[in-house]
Amino acid sequence: MILKKNIFDNIQAGSGIEIFEDLLKKENLKLERIISYPNSISENQWYGQAHDEWVILLKGSAALQFENDELVELLPGDYLFIPAHTKHKVQEVNNNEPTIWLALHY
């Protein structure tokens, strides 16, 4: 059976936590939906995964801070590749609506 879903379904307004939802998971591949809220971002939460990551911003806006002090601002449709072991964090997200991402880890 083919199961149809919508990437924008089941998004709660004003949640106090960042939500990571696996959409597809295979041996060396994971596709996840991330929902970020303004009050869910921790300025001390650095990521530096052991795998490459490709991320696209679908809704809202965000700024990613990298360890080398580079700040990358993202708007809907913007995407970027983050090499393995590249330290980064979400510096800020849209204050008026949830920010929705797709992240591909491989």
In the chain, the domains with their CATH numbers are 19-105 (2.60.120.10)
The better pLDDT of the pair 39, 77 is held by 77
pLDDT band at 6 (very low <50, low <70, confident <90, very high): very high
The better pLDDT of the pair 21, 41 is held by 21
Neighbours of 100 (CB within 10 A): 22
pTM of this structure: 0.88
The better pLDDT of the pair 17, 27 is held by 27
Q: 39-54, pLDDT tens digit by residue?
A: 888 778 899 999 999 9
- pLDDT for residue 73: 98
| Nearest Cα residue to 56 out of 76, 36, 85 | 76
Cα 22 to chain centroid distance, Å, stands at 12
| Nearest Cα residue to 47 out of 101, 7, 9 | 101
- pLDDT for residue 89: 93
pLDDT of 104 above 90: yes
